[in-house]
Amino acid sequence: MENGIALTRQSRFPSIMVALLVGAVQAEKFCDGAFLGLLKQGCIIRWLGKLEVIDNRKKIEYYPGLFDEFKVQKILDRWDKFPGIMWGLGFELDYYHSFELYRKRSNLKLKPSHSKREERRNLLYLLEHADRQIVGNYLFSEWRKYVKCELSYDQFDLDFIFRVMDILESRYI
């Protein structure tokens, strides 16, 4: 809920498109020809196409073992099917927004963390008490952080992602 208005996936996409178009118009204000350049380069058409792809995603029903292929593959960059599965299950790539709201509102007492390992322990504790949507959104955001931001990751990070995946799977049982 934002500003007292519940935002669903359907209501957010038109606002994203408006924001992109407003940004394009503002770019024109500072640089003559910017809007025309976006049109000629096909940016606006790609934006509209992306919205259509998002709107036409297939829903996926969870089944045990859905994430097994990812647990075997140790290179996150090769998880090509992962975004489609997460979107199909109804999760959003919200860059930890829903998790941070949950973290602030939860009354769970956490031990102070003095290392990355202790911080991960606290995160897992919070996720074990969160609902399915928050865990799924968190997992999706965690994957994106390493793949798209090109951060290096190690076995410790992979183990953490697999533990979050296990928590998500336990929400379907």
Domain-located, residue 128: yes
Burial class (CB in 10 A: 0-12, 13-18, 19+), 52: exposed
pLDDT value at 1 more than 50: no
The number of residues in the chain equals: 173
Same domain, 89 and 142: yes
For residues 85 and 129, membership in a common domain is answered with yes
**pLDDT at position 21, please?**
82
Range of 155's domain?
68-171
Q: Are residues 51 and 72 in the same domain?
A: no
Domain total in the chain: 2
42 domain-assigned: yes
Question: What secondary structure does DSSP assign to 76-129, as a single string?
Answer: GGG-TTHHHHHHHTT----TTHHHHHHHHH-----PPP-SHHHHHHHHHHHHHT
Residue 4: inside a domain? no
**99 and 166, same structural domain?**
yes
Question: Is residue 3 in a domain?
Answer: no
Do 79 and 44 reside in the same domain of the chain? Answer: no
What's the first-to-final CA gap in the chain, in angstroms? 28
Instruction: Give one word for 4, left, alpha or beta, with left for phi > 0 and alpha for psi -120 to 50.
Output: left
pLDDT in tens, 129-152: 999 999 999 999 998 888 877 667
Tell me which DSSP letter residue 31 carries: S
Within this chain, do residues 51 and 77 fall inside the same structural domain, yes or no? no
The answer to whether residues 76 and 49 belong to one domain is: no
Q: Judge if 31 and 114 occupy the same domain.
A: no
Q: Does residue 163 form part of some domain?
A: yes
Q: Is the pLDDT of residue 31 over 80?
A: yes
- Do 80 and 122 belong to one domain? yes
The answer to pTM > 0.75 is no
Rounded distance between C-alpha atoms, residue 105 and residue 28, angstroms = 42
Q: Indicate whether 135 and 79 sit together in one domain.
A: yes
Same domain? For 137 and 83 the reply is yes
Report CA Rg, the chain. 19
In a domain, 36, yes or no: yes
Model pLDDT, residue 115: 93
Lowest mean pLDDT among 4-18, 51-65, 68-82, 105-119: 4-18
Same domain, 145 and 74: yes
Tokens representing residue 83 in the block: 């975004």
Q: What is the DSSP string of 41-74?
A: HTHHHHHHHHHHHHHTPPP----TTTTHHHHH--
